[in-house]
Amino acid sequence: MFVIAYGAAYFGLAIFVVAVIARVLMWSRLPMHVRWELYPVAHEGERARHGGSYMEESEWWTKPRHVSKVAEAKAMFSEIVFLAAVKEHNPKLWTRTFPFHFGLYLVITCTALMVVGGALTALAPDTVSGPLGEILGNAVMIFGYAGAVTVIIGALGLLQRRLSDPGLRDYTAPADLFNLAFFVVAFGCAIVTAALVDPDFAITRGFVANLVTGRLDTFGAAGLEAMLPPLTFVMLSLLLAYIPLTHMSHFVGKYFAYHAIRWNDTPNLRGGPEEKKIQAVLSQPITWAAPHIKGDGKKTWVDAATEEQKK
């Protein structure tokens, strides 16, 4: 069973990484689009408090532009960690989606700690044989239990709301329910495993450490100890592979939604780098068929935009 679990873990991780890279490439390779920003734009710094832009300055193109990356990071932190927009505009849903997302962050932290622990065990075993190892072990347990429980609570709450709220029910596809149920089952499996055979996460930590070092040992000779942990690892690995293949990959898209669209207010100054990109997109052919356009695949955007309109 553990062999399958190791295979599933590497497979899940590989799919996750490849799918995320593919999503990043897809979003970043899309052509330039027209400016479609939405205020407040966080990097405006102080001005963002009232939603202002550099266009509040007279002859703004003659003045240096200040882009506050710190302000962007603050806004993103509040949005990613606390789901600020949902809290403000949809508090009932927030009580369910916040634990779900925050639970995932706790699980990610738990996993990261196990990876660190595994790496230290392999590279500098003395460092984790003492108090540091104990702290790491306790932290893994706290983050692991808390994360799995809050994910389950959040997912169940979201399932309940999707099934009972008329405003959500009609917009919910079977896959949406499956996705949430998948989280409940995978993390439920993890909780059962921890409760029955791995209360101090020793097996799980060992498994992750082995993944890091490539020493694919098994744990437990028989019975539940040999069955439940690998089953959990397989479930969680499949979940890891599944997430970026669905609309849950919004954790990638969200970066572009903010930085490439909502906050993309980069002005196109004469002779600047934007002009070349604009000339390239405007030289593309169009095939829009309406009588006032008559795009034939040869006519370009420039042609269409500059042709005289006769009465």
Please report, as residue ranges, which positions from 98 to 137 form the binding site for other proteins (by CB under 8 A): none
> Per rule CB under 8 A, is residue 152 in the interface with other proteins?
no
Helical packing angle, 91-123 and 202-213, nearest 10°: 60
Q: Binding other proteins by CB under 8 A: which of 20, 67, 78, 79? A: 79
Provide the β-strand partners of residue 300.
Answer: 285
> Per rule CB under 8 A, is residue 51 in the interface with other proteins?
yes
Shortest distance, CB of residue 159 to other proteins, whole angstroms?
13
Both tokens of 204, joined, read: 């799980």
d(CA 230, CA 234): 6
> Per rule CB under 8 A, is residue 292 in the interface with other proteins?
yes
> Per rule CB under 8 A, is residue 199 in the interface with other proteins?
no
Q: Binding other proteins by CB under 8 A: which of 86, 106, 110, 203? A: 86
> Per rule CB under 8 A, is residue 14 in the interface with other proteins?
no
> Per rule CB under 8 A, is residue 4 in the interface with other proteins?
no
Residues 184 and 159 sit within 8 Å (Cβ to Cβ): yes
> Per rule CB under 8 A, is residue 164 in the interface with other proteins?
no
Q: Binding other proteins by CB under 8 A: which of 64, 214, 273, 291? A: 291
Burial status of residue 232 (CB atoms within 10 A of its CB: 0-12, 13-18, 19 or more): buried
> Per rule CB under 8 A, is residue 66 in the interface with other proteins?
no
Provide the β-strand partners of residue 285.
Answer: 300
Residues 300 and 283 sit within 8 Å (Cβ to Cβ): yes
> Per rule CB under 8 A, is residue 293 in the interface with other proteins?
yes
Helices then strands, counting H and E runs in the chain, come out as: 13, 0
Nearer to other proteins, 48 or 120 (CB): 48
Q: Binding other proteins by CB under 8 A: which of 4, 85, 195, 196? A: 85
Q: Binding other proteins by CB under 8 A: which of 115, 146, 224, 304? A: 304
Which stretch, 7-15, 111-119, 148-156, 256-264, contacts other proteins (CB under 8 A)? 256-264
Both tokens of 228, joined, read: 């439940």
Per-residue binder mask for other proteins (CB under 8 A), 200-229, x = binder: ------------------------------
3-state secondary structure of 300: strand
Shortest distance, CB of residue 241 to other proteins, whole angstroms?
16
Shortest distance, CB of residue 27 to other proteins, whole angstroms?
7
> Per rule CB under 8 A, is residue 74 in the interface with other proteins?
no
Residues 6+ apart with CB under 8 A from 76: 42, 258
> Per rule CB under 8 A, is residue 262 in the interface with other proteins?
yes
Residues 152 and 191 sit within 8 Å (Cβ to Cβ): yes
Nearer to other proteins, 79 or 225 (CB): 79
Alpha-carbon Rg for the chain, nearest whole angstrom, is 26
Q: Where are the alpha helices (DSSP H) in 29-124?
A: 69-82, 84-89, 91-123
Cα–Cα nearest to 107, from 81, 79, 134, 142: 142
> Per rule CB under 8 A, is residue 160 in the interface with other proteins?
no
Both tokens of 72, joined, read: 């962007």
Shortest distance, CB of residue 106 to other proteins, whole angstroms?
20
Count of residues in contact with other proteins, rule CB under 8 A:
88
> Per rule CB under 8 A, is residue 310 in the interface with other proteins?
yes
Both tokens of 115, joined, read: 């990876």
